[in-house]
Amino acid sequence: MMQQKKSDLLQGTLDLLILRTVALEPNHGFAIAKRIEQISQDLLHVEHGSLYPALYRLEEQGLLAPEWGVSENNRRVKYYRLTRAGKKRLDGELENWRRLSLGIERVISQSEA
């Protein structure tokens, strides 16, 4: 049996995955990364060097709202929740992703002539 390898995320898809994950429930950075890995059944891997700059960027854009809290490990962490603007962006990004992935699927599914 071939072992599945975790895939690095393409730039641009990380924002979509973060917004979608936070839409499910507010959470802190490490938990967001772990949740993406869990939902993808370990096919996707989120590097911390990519995650935190993306979180800060989404926060600066007003798509995520931070709030300080305490984690399960009793550590002070920044929790992120989706803002109204974030929900609007997420909806648009999901529509774009579905259209793009449909186009890609059509191309790669073509039989050779």
What is the average per-residue pLDDT within 12-17? 90
Residue 14 has pLDDT above 70, yes or no: yes
- Its pTM stands at 0.84
Rg (CA), the chain: 16
Lowest mean pLDDT among 9-18, 81-90, 97-106: 9-18
Residue 2 has pLDDT above 50, yes or no: no
What is the average per-residue pLDDT within 14-43? 95
Domain boundaries, the chain: 7-108
- Residue 79's region, left for phi above 0, alpha for psi from -120 to 50, else beta, is beta
CB 77 within 8 A of CB 68: yes
**Cβ atoms within 10 Å of 41's Cβ, excluding its own:** 8
User: How far apart, in whole angstroms, are the C-alpha atoms of residue 107 and residue 1?
Assistant: 28
Angle at 54 between CA 52 and CA 22, to 5 degrees: 90
CATH 3.50.50.60 corresponds to the domain 7-108? no
pLDDT higher at 2 or 22: 22
CB 76 within 8 A of CB 68: yes
List pLDDT tens digits, range 45-61. Answer: 999 899 999 999 999 99
Nearest to 51 by CA among 14, 81, 12, 87: 14
What is the average per-residue pLDDT within 38-51? 92
Residue 44 has pLDDT above 80, yes or no: yes
